Chain A
């Protein structure tokens, strides 16, 4: 068997899937989302984060219900079974476009961040291309490698978050939270709007990961995801609390990368200073996870829609689309604000909530259930056996020729 044979159909554990979900949610949202939420809900932004918590799990319930009906199939595969072949392909095409755009937006986020804060003189296209090379490598190595990387980054990410938040305790001012609920519950409810689309509705990527969870581990999946959703709510609320408590509302809602700016405030007796680069490192890691998962799901959905035997040849060509798309998708900072916080939520909810719900309802009404295996065929194995057969037939004919040469001619 070839060394690449397992990459297409590698398996992960439920814990790894939960960590991937956590890193995906924390990905770009941790640095950008608190700014958007505090600009709407002001000092009550943390309440918006808390209120959005149940939706983290509610949206996963839809995906889990679909996964129970079609345990070994991804969204691209069971949509064809539920909506018919062409209906399913059309739906998958919508998701391919969604993930293509999401990949471009995530890449643009990281290049904007690096360009504004760490590498101001480097051209944006260069940051995009170099980041994309790492992404391509990660996706080509498969989901198992991605999940293991996620486990490492999860530990580091949590460590840095804890360190940063502990270091900011001495600058925390409770007066920044006053007046509490100044406009009643309306502002925190309004503040939930960007959170619903970014990142909650983007969790739809996990529908392509569910079939890859080990069969013996699937019973634990619901529990692991519940824990992950709880952790996402807890960490994002904690970050927003510290953001408002340390920086105050006006500064927090003005800064494009507020958490990074918050880490600049760390100063413990002039000994522990300028640790914001730790935040940048962790954020680059989590964005890497988000982008690698987006590109992986994009390639897998395309391969499944086109009935290809592997997703790997599609990865590099897709990067040729993602990079220029990332460069052109936002025209300026104002366009970023309007699109990311206004348009994206609805577009994301359409793909992350509405369409899966429609598929689930139709599957329930039509009583569709399928336990067939949707994994990629072991192509490399076939190729090897085919080559062996070719060789053996060639050797056989050679032997026959040799024997015919050796055999004495009949008298």
Chain B
């Protein structure tokens, strides 16, 4: 729980810095997207700390490319 609080405080501090440093109206887009990415990252860290199961992107890639890489691996592992 302490880790969650620390991460939350760190994210809030980072968000505040981003908000203040991009307070010029020319930078509203930068501020918005940065905070969006920050929120996703913070949620990701919180999920890991609280042991909420998160899908591993490596598994998505393995699933998408399995028709291509599996035959190659089979060929490589085949003894002559």
A335 to B33, CA, bound (A): 33
Q: Is the CB of B29 within 8 A of A386?
A: no
Stretch of A82-90, A198-206, A286-294, A301-309 that contacts chain B: A301-309
Residues in chain A near residue B24, CB distance under 8 A: 383, 386
Complex: A69 Cα to B57 Cα, angstroms: 34
Q: Which of A70-78, A109-117, A208-216, A316-324 contacts B (4 or more CB under 8 A)?
A: A316-324
Q: Are A328 and B54 in contact (CB under 8 A)?
A: yes
In Å, the complex CA distance between A379 and B38 comes to: 22
Which residues from B are CB-within-8-Å of A307? 29
Number of A-B contacts (CB under 8 A): 111
Decide if B80 touches A320 in the complex (CB within 8 Å): no
B48 adjacent to A324 (CB under 8 Å): yes
Q: Are B14 and A313 in contact (CB under 8 A)?
A: no
Whether A346 touches B69, Cβ cut-off 8 Å, given contacts A321-B44, A339-B58, is yes
By a CB distance below 8 angstroms, the chain A residues around B69 are 342-343, 345-346
User: Within the complex, what minimum Cβ distance (angstroms) separates B65 from chain A?
Assistant: 5
Query: Is A40 part of the contact surface with B, judged by Cβ < 8 Å?
Result: yes
Query: A313-B21, A324-B44 given as contacts; is B76 within 8 A of A379 (CB)?
Result: no
Is the Cβ of A324 less than 8 Å from the Cβ of B41?
yes
Are B72 and A308 in contact, CB atoms less than 8 angstroms apart? no
Bound-state CA distance A190–B72 (Å) is 9
Nearest A residue to B69 via CB reads A346
Give the total of A residues in contact with B, Cβ under 8 Å: 45
19 cross-chain CB contacts under 8 A:
A101-B57, A190-B76, A306-B29, A306-B33, A309-B26, A313-B27, A313-B33, A318-B37, A321-B40, A324-B44, A329-B58, A330-B58, A331-B56, A339-B58, A345-B69, A347-B65, A379-B27, A382-B26, A386-B26
Contact of B68 among A323, A335, A346 (CB under 8 A): A346
The 9 A-B pairs with the shortest beta carbon distances in the complex, nearest first, are A320-B41, A317-B37, A317-B38, A313-B34, A321-B41, A346-B69, A183-B80, A313-B30, A343-B62
Question: In this assembly, does A184 line the interface, its C-beta being within 8 Å of a C-beta of chain B?
Answer: yes
User: Which of B30, B68, B75 is within 8 Å of A310, CB to CB?
Assistant: B30
Which residues on the B side are within 8 Å of A345 (C-beta)?
A: 69
Q: A residues within 8 A CB of B56? A: 328-329, 331
Known: A184-B80, A329-B57. A339 touches B41 (CB 8 A): no
Give the distance in Å from the alpha carbon of A382 to the alpha carbon of B24 in the complex.
11
**CA separation between A14 and B21, bound complex, in Å?**
34
In the complex, A184 Cα to B58 Cα: how many Å? 34
Could you mark each residue 324-359 of chain A with 1 if its beta carbon is under 8 Å from any beta carbon of chain B, else 0?
Answer: 110111110001001100110111001000000000
In the complex, which residues of chain B have a beta carbon less than 8 angstroms from the beta carbon of A130?
none
Contacts of B38 in A (CB 8 A): 316-317, 320
Give Cα A186 to B80, complex, Å. Answer: 8
Contacts of B76 in A (CB 8 A): 40, 190, 193
Q: Are A309 and B27 in contact (CB under 8 A)?
A: yes
Q: Is A127 an interface residue (CB 8 A)?
A: no
Hey, which chain B residues are within 8 Å of A183, CB to CB? 80
Q: Is B35 on the interface with A (CB-CB < 8 A)?
A: yes
The reply to whether the CB of B4 lies closer than 8 angstroms to some CB of chain A is no
Other than the known A307-B29, A314-B37, A321-B37, what 5 A-B pairs have Cβ atoms closer than 8 Å? Answer: A302-B33, A317-B41, A320-B45, A325-B57, A343-B58
Across the interface, which residues of A come within 8 angstroms of B2, CB to CB?
Answer: none
Whose C-beta in chain A lies nearest to the C-beta of B55? Answer: A328
Find the residue from A313, A318, A343, A347 having the highest chain B CB count within 10 A. Answer: A313
For A316, the closest partner residue in chain B by CB is B14
Contact A320 B42 (CB under 8 A): yes
A323 partner, pick from B34, B45, B58, beta carbons under 8 A = B45
- Contact partner of B34 (CB less than 8 A), chosen from A186, A314, A350, A379, is A314
- Contact among A101, A187, A325, A346 for B72, CB-based, below 8 A: A346
